[in-house]
Amino acid sequence: MKHVIIGNGVAGLTAAETIRRMDPDSELTLISDETFLPYCRPMISHLLEGAVPAEKLPIRGKNVYAQNRIEPVLGARATTLDVDRRVVTTADGKTHAYDRLLLACGADPRQIDAQGRDLENIFFMRTVQQVRQMLAVLPEVGHALVLGGGLVGFKAAYSLLRRGIAVTMLIRSGYPLSMQVDETAGRMIQAVLQANGLTVRTGASVEAFEGNGRVRMAHLSDGTRVSCDMAVIGKGVFPAHGFVPADRIHTDAGILVDDNMQTSVSGVYAAGDIAEHMDIARQRSWVNAIWPEAVSQGRVAGMNMAGEIVSYRGSLSRNVIRVFDTDVMTAGRVSPRDIDETCRQFSARDLRRNIYRKLVFSDNILVGFAMINDIEQGGALTALIQSRRPVEVEPERLMEPGFNIGRLMAR
Amino acid sequence: MKQVIVHPERCVGCMQCMLACAAAHSKTGSLFTAIAETPKPRPRIHVGAGLYDEGFPNRCRHCDPAPCQMACLPGAIYRHSRTNTVLIDPDVCINCASCAMACPYGVIRYHADPLAPAGKTVAVKCDNCVARQHRGQIPACVEICKVGALTFEERDRAMKRRTEEVARSATADAAPPEQAPGFSLLHTVKKARTEINLAR
Ligand SMILES: Cc1cc2nc3c(=O)[nH]c(=O)nc-3n(C[C@H](O)[C@H](O)[C@H](O)COP(=O)(O)OP(=O)(O)OC[C@H]3O[C@@H](n4cnc5c(N)ncnc54)[C@H](O)[C@@H]3O)c2cc1C
């Protein structure tokens, strides 16, 4: 049996380790265009902040490939996939035949449509290499512009502020993290960032960058200008399946997979940010591009590829962010765009302690929550969403300060 | 292998386990001297109020597979196989709280700790007193509990199964084929109906 995995992110690596554990004899090739050891992608913002050195990023030791008898093909981008001949071709023209293939290519940052986009000091923040490039120019940066108030834009802005750099954040919608939280939480988060020096501009986007080789100025859609010597584009990501034959492998936003993480083509699997499966809270097909789901999906894909038929039970969007002593945790459906007429919403706020709670139910099933501060019990709520168990204690009790899982258990 | 087993129905809410736990994880190891230490030693077991405001001792179940371990971003969480204990390496922890979002029991706290690098805020939870066990002692919370709400014994199969079911129901993860989603979810829901008070 010959296994080929494309992508050495956490989904690909977890799958490779799982296959090796269950099937000591098969051949295992891992193709990836990143050459860095498998690393913790979310931690690149900590690298930008200066909170951790690059040596702390790898999630496995130096001999991870040898230990697992994986043949690494690094610095190689897969460019074509022939599902009839079962062959992957990389940019250098080399071919890799497989019996089973895993697509674990993650996602690429979304490009923006603005003049002057190719000026220097305009960055994406997806890879360790991109952050290293940012670090190289930071000494000459006084004012940074961050495009997008989503998770990545948010983390970039925070890291740069911590470096003592003035940051302006441009958000198209009305408040930060609008995909993750409701307006009340969004405004609370915005207030914290502003209190720490962030300038937030809402309802505007960049139409053009200007500069002499290097970016100096951004022209906005509202006719104003912002001077900046660096820009970070955080306008979301899209699954990296450009080279996958869409006429053969069914794709929506992501590559559609069944409960065994298999695509519409037998023997071809997908896992991680590239894959689309059932969302537990939304009860529909969805891409949840987060680390813990990439791990779970990689594991399930690996088991199935090794011949152990197991099922994945769906994904749940969730995130936790800590900025300036303020903690934000969200899961499932909270953003107004995820709310419909079947939803019952409950919220509670303690202004003095800057605590906020929001619960969203569909009938009597918890489908989403947002918490600001005192987040330790958030996992109990996440588990409640994942279980889809009807909740029959009053929703208010789940928002009380002393809430713990014991509140849900009868003796 | 002996495990700490929690019997919530026997808990009287005296919180002695919290004190014993904090002392056991202090620098000096004794309650009398621990209170003067910086950082202040804190418990890794938490007695909260249950459904009827009765005492509810809550500590890490050392789930297998452990949702916190799979969610940990820097890979700081690992399993110590000899004692079947899920441990957090304070040197590797980045205090991102991903584990808080993953733990269905809400037993992880974030603060400076005598066993962590000085001044660093890290994720802290029950370590089954592995250091005490190494010295031939039993976990501090069990030793102090006088009502039998915490015991240290061979976990029988039923108990093990129960913990695993909760862990599995709480992890978006693999279930063996004979317990594929439909079945295990039904099972979980059925269990949940007995565990979770549906009368209110
Ligand atoms: C700044 C930042 C912060 C984040 N913070 C969090 C967080 O706090 N919590 C959380 O849960 N998630 C977070 N995420 C998301 C998380 O990093 C991803 O969900 C996770 O890394 C996905 O893993 P993956 O293995 O699916 O894909 P990736 O990690 O993207 O790995 C895919 C790999 O495949 C390679 N590849 C792609 N296409 C090809 C090709 N054609 N040929 C060869 N190789 C290819 C890529 O170069 C890459 O190395 C964050 C992401 C970023 C960028």
| Residue B162 CA to its chain's centroid (Å) | 15
Highest mean pLDDT: which range of A389-393, B31-35, B99-103 = B99-103
A33 lines ligand 1 (CB under 6 A): yes
Same domain, A283 and A365: no
Lowest mean pLDDT across A61-65, A403-407, B150-154: A403-407
Final residue belonging to a domain, choices A191, A210, A233: A233
Q: Where are the domains positioned within chain B?
A: 60-125
pLDDT digits (tens, 9 = 90+) for B78-87: 999 889 999 9
Question: Given pLDDT bands bounded at 50, 70 and 90, which one contains residue B164?
Answer: low
pLDDT value at residue B167: 63
Question: What's the whole-number mean pLDDT along residues B111-139?
Answer: 95
Q: Are A257 and A277 in contact (CB under 8 A)?
A: yes
Phi, psi of A80 (to 5 degrees): -140, 150
Is the pLDDT at A42 greater than 80? The verdict is yes
pLDDT value at residue A137: 98
Is the pLDDT at B184 greater than 90? The verdict is no
Final residue belonging to a domain, choices A218, A233, A248: A233
Domain of A353: which CATH number? Answer: 3.30.390.30
Pocket perturbation via mutation, ligand 1, pick of A8, A14, A18, A32 by most ligand atoms within 8 A of CB: A32
Is the Cβ pair B174, A59 closer than 8 Å?
no
Is the pLDDT at A141 greater than 60? The verdict is yes
Q: Chain B: nearest CA to A321, how far in angstroms?
A: 7
Average pLDDT of chain B, as a whole number: 82
Question: Given pLDDT bands bounded at 50, 70 and 90, which one contains residue B187?
Answer: very low
Helix (H) or strand (E) holding A17: helix A10-22
Q: What percent of chain A has pLDDT over 70?
A: 100
Q: Chain A: nearest CA to B18, how far in angstroms?
A: 16
pLDDT digits (tens, 9 = 90+) for B46-68: 998 887 788 899 999 999 889 99
Same domain, A325 and A396: yes
Is the pLDDT at B197 greater than 70? The verdict is no
Question: What's the whole-number mean pLDDT along residues B167-174?
Answer: 53
Question: What's the whole-number mean pLDDT along residues B1-25?
Answer: 92
Q: Are A103 and A7 in contact (CB under 8 A)?
A: yes
Tokens 């049996």 identify what position? Answer: A1
Angle (deg, nearest 10), helices A183-195 and A151-162? 20
Is the pLDDT at A274 greater than 80? The verdict is yes
Question: What's the whole-number mean pLDDT along residues A46-55?
Answer: 95
Kindly state whether residue A199 falls inside one of the protein's structural domains: yes
Same domain, A134 and A98: no
Domain of A101?
A: 2-108+238-305
pLDDT value at residue B185: 36
Burial of A387: CB neighbours in 10 Å, binned 0-12, 13-18, 19+: buried
Atom 20, ligand 1: residue with shortest CA distance: A291
Q: Which residue of B has its CA nearest to A293?
A: B172
Same domain, A210 and A143: yes
Kindly state whether residue A381 falls inside one of the protein's structural domains: yes
Q: Are B31 and B19 in contact (CB under 8 A)?
A: yes
Same domain, A228 and A242: no
In words, the CATH class of domain B60-125 is alpha beta
Atom 26, ligand 1: residue with shortest CA distance: A272
Q: Which residue of B has its CA nearest to A323?
A: B96
Six-digit token pair at A257?
Answer: 């997979």
Kindly state whether residue A310 falls inside one of the protein's structural domains: no
Q: Which atom of ligand 1 is nearest to the CA of A7?
A: 34
pLDDT digits (tens, 9 = 90+) for A163-206: 999 999 999 888 999 999 999 999 999 999 999 999 999 988 99
Six-digit token pair at A305?
Answer: 């590829």
pLDDT value at residue B200: 26
The Å distance, Cα A110 to ligand 1 centre, comes to 13
Is the pLDDT at A221 greater than 60? The verdict is yes
Six-digit token pair at A307?
Answer: 């011949």
Final residue belonging to a domain, choices A252, A279, A305: A305
Is the pLDDT at B192 greater than 50? The verdict is no
Is the Cβ pair A376, B181 closer than 8 Å?
no
Kindly state whether residue A311 falls inside one of the protein's structural domains: no
Same domain, A243 and A224: no
Residues of chain B neighbouring A378 (CB-CB closer than 8 A): 100-101, 106
DSSP track, B104-133: TT---EEE--TTSSTT--EEE---TTHHHH
Kindly state whether residue A313 falls inside one of the protein's structural domains: no
Kindly state whether residue A244 falls inside one of the protein's structural domains: yes
Same domain, A164 and A197: yes
pLDDT value at residue B174: 45
Residue A228 to residue A303: CA distance in whole angstroms: 49
| Residue A50 CA to its chain's centroid (Å) | 21
Is the Cβ pair A42, B196 closer than 8 Å?
no
Same domain, A77 and A168: no
Q: Chain B: nearest CA to A385, how far in angstroms?
A: 9
Q: Chain A interface, mutation test: which of B54, B173, B186, most A Cβ atoms within 10 Å?
A: B173
Specify the pairing of strand A27-32 against strand A255-256: unpaired
Residue A52 to residue B91: CA distance in whole angstroms: 11
| Residue A138 CA to its chain's centroid (Å) | 25
Domain of A158: which CATH number? Answer: 3.50.50.60
Kindly state whether residue A295 falls inside one of the protein's structural domains: yes
Torsional class of A157: left (φ above 0), alpha (ψ -120 to 50), beta (otherwise): alpha
Is the Cβ pair B174, A300 closer than 8 Å?
yes
Kindly state whether residue A196 falls inside one of the protein's structural domains: yes
pLDDT value at residue B186: 36
Same domain, A159 and A80: no
Is the pLDDT at A158 greater than 50? The verdict is yes
pLDDT value at residue A402: 85
pLDDT value at residue A393: 87
Same domain, A180 and A255: no
Q: Are A45 and A52 in contact (CB under 8 A)?
A: no
Residues of chain B neighbouring A310 (CB-CB closer than 8 A): 174-177, 180
Which candidate from B105, B169, B181 shows the least CB-CB separation from A387? B169
Is the pLDDT at B88 greater than 70? The verdict is yes
